[in-house]
């Protein structure tokens, strides 16, 4: 199959709002136009990955000659930490490192060490688990609190068809074990469910992880980006996933850990743990969305489905002070009105609907 080049790098940029001369200090109470606070910052630290999951980085697009970002285009660790500090002052309580595959970024432990030194922050990372068995202890020693590991099936045939690079399940399982042994727990395990591809793996995954202390979460296949050929028929609604599990292992709903938690939680009635479902397609949670995303080269996205981001890197590299950065970030969040999942049908039916959207591997999950 020939490669289609649809570079994921966002060459456009929304303006960074003008910085008022009298911008006061951050108060931790920044609210957007719908009254939502900023609480959760996701930082993509590389746009590269050693997998080619068909729903995220299909080989037909992300082939051998794909123009990934060059080193000088990436935010440096120092730049990332500066931005992180500004966000924490504005109320961010949790930072998740993601990508691409974040464990491919060289010296990621050094970045973790610097972020972990910021007081009052929960620091987590999402990984495909391929390098976790080797790195779990160093990540923990650097100050990482928890990891989320993506795993879409327990049998090699299904998993390898989905990661599309022949990566075996056993090595991801070894990574999960190493993470738990290192104390990066509870380990969360994310399974993207695609109807017709891996729904037969749902119950085997439950049987494997029930009672392990890990938290298995089922994610509806989403229409992120424009390269995965998404169609609604391939979405298995979370309600069906819950029904399927409940028939073998009775479940009961439990309260969220905190307001705005994205995963809906269910507990096994026999007391052997819990699962979560993330229903991004069938049950929009925009009303409580407190997330913001920083791309690998320093663009800030106020929604996973944003068409373009705000270029903080240019601001950083033109000598902006921390106060300037803080005011810029505040202006961007205050102007945020995103609610794509609530209006998905109408948004995609519009004649002027964008034909190209930012890819998951670029913006981070």
Does 51 interact with ligand SF4 (rule: CB under 6 A)? Answer: yes
Candidate ranges 16-24, 88-96, 97-105, 301-309; the one touching ligand SAM (CB under 6 A): 97-105
285 makes contact, choosing from ligand SF4, ligand SAM, none, with CB < 5 to 8 Å by partner type, with: ligand SF4
124 makes contact, choosing from ligand SAM, ligand SF4, none, with CB < 5 to 8 Å by partner type, with: none
Does 305 interact with ligand SF4 (rule: CB under 6 A)? Answer: yes
Distances (CA, A) of 205 to 151, 159, 276: 9, 12, 13
Give the C-alpha separation, 4 to 132, whole Å. Answer: 32
Does 360 interact with ligand SAM (rule: CB under 6 A)? Answer: yes
Q: What is the nearest approach in angstroms of ligand SF4 to the Cβ of residue 100?
A: 5
Binding mask 217-236 for ligand SAM (x = CB under 6 A): --x-xx-x---x--------
Distances (CA, A) of 68 to 82, 176, 216, 278, 363: 24, 28, 32, 29, 13
User: Which residues 100-139 are close enough to bind ligand SAM by CB under 6 A?
Assistant: 101, 126-128
Q: Which of 227, 279, 326, 361 binds ligand SF4 (CB under 6 A)?
A: 361
Q: Applying CB under 6 A, which residues contact ligand SAM?
A: 49, 55-56, 98-99, 101, 126-128, 150, 190, 192, 219, 221-222, 224, 228, 360-361, 364-365
Q: Applying CB under 6 A, which residues contact ligand SF4?
A: 49, 51-53, 56-57, 99-101, 128, 150, 285-286, 289, 291, 303-305, 338-341, 361
């Amino acid at each position: 199959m020939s490669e289609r080049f649809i570079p994921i790098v966002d060459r456009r940029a929304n303006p960074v709002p003008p910085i008022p001369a009298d911008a006061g200090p951050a108060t931790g109470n920044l609210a957007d136009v719908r009254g939502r606070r900023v609480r959760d910052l996701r930082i993509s630290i590389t746009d590269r990955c050693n997998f080619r999951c068909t729903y995220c980085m299909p080989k037909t697009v992300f082939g051998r000659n794909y123009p990934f970002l060059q080193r000088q285009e990436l935010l440096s660790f120092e730049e990332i930490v500066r931005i992180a500090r500004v966000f924490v002052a504005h109320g961010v309580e949790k930072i998740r490192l993601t990508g691409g595959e974040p464990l491919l970024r060289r010296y990621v432990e050094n970045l973790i060490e610097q972020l972990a030194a910021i007081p009052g922050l929960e620091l987590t990372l999402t990984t495909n688990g391929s390098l976790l068995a080797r790195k779990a202890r160093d990540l923990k020693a650097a100050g990482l609190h928890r990891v989320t590991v993506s795993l879409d099936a327990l049998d090699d045939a299904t998993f390898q068809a989905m990661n599309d690079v022949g990566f075996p399940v056993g090595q991801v399982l070894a990574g999960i074990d190493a993470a738990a042994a290192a104390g990066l727990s509870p380990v969360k395990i994310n399974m993207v469910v695609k109807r017709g591809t891996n729904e037969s793996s749902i119950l085997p995954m439950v049987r494997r992880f029930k009672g392990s202390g890990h938290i298995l979460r089922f994610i509806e296949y989403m229409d992120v980006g424009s390269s995965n050929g998404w169609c609604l028929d391939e979405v298995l609604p979370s309600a069906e996933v819950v029904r399927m599990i409940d028939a073998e292992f009775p479940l009961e709903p439990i309260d969220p850990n905190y307001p705005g938690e994205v995963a809906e939680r269910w507990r096994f009635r026999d007391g052997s743990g819990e699962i979560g479902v993330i229903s991004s397609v069938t049950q929009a949670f925009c009303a409580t969305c407190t997330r913001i995303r920083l791309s690998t080269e320093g663009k800030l996205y106020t929604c996973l489905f944003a068409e373009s981001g705000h270029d903080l890197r240019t601001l950083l590299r033109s000598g902006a002070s921390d106060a300037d950065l803080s005011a810029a970030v505040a202006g961007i969040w205050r102007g945020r009105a995103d609610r794509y999942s609530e209006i998905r049908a109408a948004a995609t039916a519009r004649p002027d609907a964008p034909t190209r959207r930012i890819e998951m591997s670029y913006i981070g999950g």
